[in-house]
Amino acid sequence: MKHNKLHDFLLAMPGFLIYTVFMIVPLGMCFFYSFTNWDGISPKYKMIGLKNFRRLFADGDFYNALKITLIITVITVLLYNVLGALLAVFLNRKNRACAFTKSAIFVPAVLSSVVVAFIWSYMMQTDGGVINAVLGLFGMPPFDFYATPLRTIVMISVIIAWNGLGLFVVIYMATLSTIPTEMLEAAEVDGANGFQRFFRVTLPLMMPGITINSILSIAGGLKQYDHVKVITGGGPGGATQTITLLSVEKAFEYNRRGYSSAIILVLFVMIVVLSVIQLSITKRREVKY
């Protein structure tokens, strides 16, 4: 078959066009608008240089949103990876109980995040909420999940982790199945106990799964929007607002598209920097055998 430059170019064209129209052009527009004072509607706007960014870094709302986003990210990353890896190792055997629990853990992953957030938001109510009814069965006093922003944010992080855990367990189980059983048997013959086998053999060999899962969970935590939007809507007064919620509010309620573009640009840079740092750390720890 004839092989030339034009042929290659034409074959790559559809994918490249779609990627350009839906990724590169919007990113460029976001970059451009973050230096203007566009309000999202009017045809006139002017360049204001770095004023958006200067205002952003003096904005208390932005720092609060950053704090909330980082809390959500830290808690969900820990829950996804620690619980996910432990469950994958625990459920990695063939019997009916394990099969049932595997599918039970995957069920929430196929639900819409709005559905999940709605179910949990009425389970969390102080009066007539299901969680407090269960606590009451064990004789504990009712717990007000909406009392402080921190409590609500921690609870929302748990809900997000409940929703997405299935996917992470599946990825970890796929990684586990690539570990040759001879290694574990050899460790057992050499007299390693369960903990040693997990930390010295299984965990280092699971490193590729940990790499992909931590990238997915860090990016997902920083981009978190839908659960928070449904459960608290960012309220009261922006106390539980994440960065994405803040930027959507600035763009469509305050009509400050330029400012919201600046917020999104800062988030974009943050995700890229964190992913690169994280990738370089975990890649170094992957072992070859």
Partner 1 sequence: MSALRRKLRIERIRKLFTLLIGFVYLFPMYIAVSNSFKPYGEIINSPLSLPLHATMDN
Sign of CA dihedral 243, 270, 28, 11: negative
* Residue 149: C-alpha distances to residues 18, 155, 171, 227 (Å): 41, 10, 32, 15
In the range 137-156, which residues lie near partner 1 by CB under 8 A? 137
Residue in 42, 95, 181, 280 binding partner 1, rule: CB under 8 A = 95
Output the six-digit token pair for 161: 């982790």
- Number of residues located near partner 1, criterion CB under 8 A: 23
User: Which of 24, 98, 150, 276 lies at the binding interface for partner 1 (CB under 8 A)?
Assistant: 98
Q: Is 169 in the site for partner 1 (CB under 8 A)?
A: no
- The answer to whether 105 and 87 are in contact (CB under 8 A) is yes
- The residues with which 87 forms a beta bridge, in sequence order, are none
Residue 239 near residue 102, CB atoms below 8 Å: no
Q: Does 123 bind partner 1 (CB under 8 A)?
A: yes
Which of 82, 98 has the CB closer to partner 1?
98
Shortest Å, Cβ 87 to partner 1: 8
Contact 192, 111 (CB under 8 A): no
Q: Does 18 bind partner 1 (CB under 8 A)?
A: no
Q: Could you tell me if 76 and 220 are in contact, meaning their C-beta atoms sit under 8 angstroms apart?
A: yes
In the set 37, 92, 101, 282, which binds partner 1 (CB under 8 A)? 101
Binding site for partner 1 (CB under 8 A): 87, 90-91, 95, 97-98, 100-101, 104-105, 107-108, 116, 119-120, 123, 128-130, 133-134, 137, 162
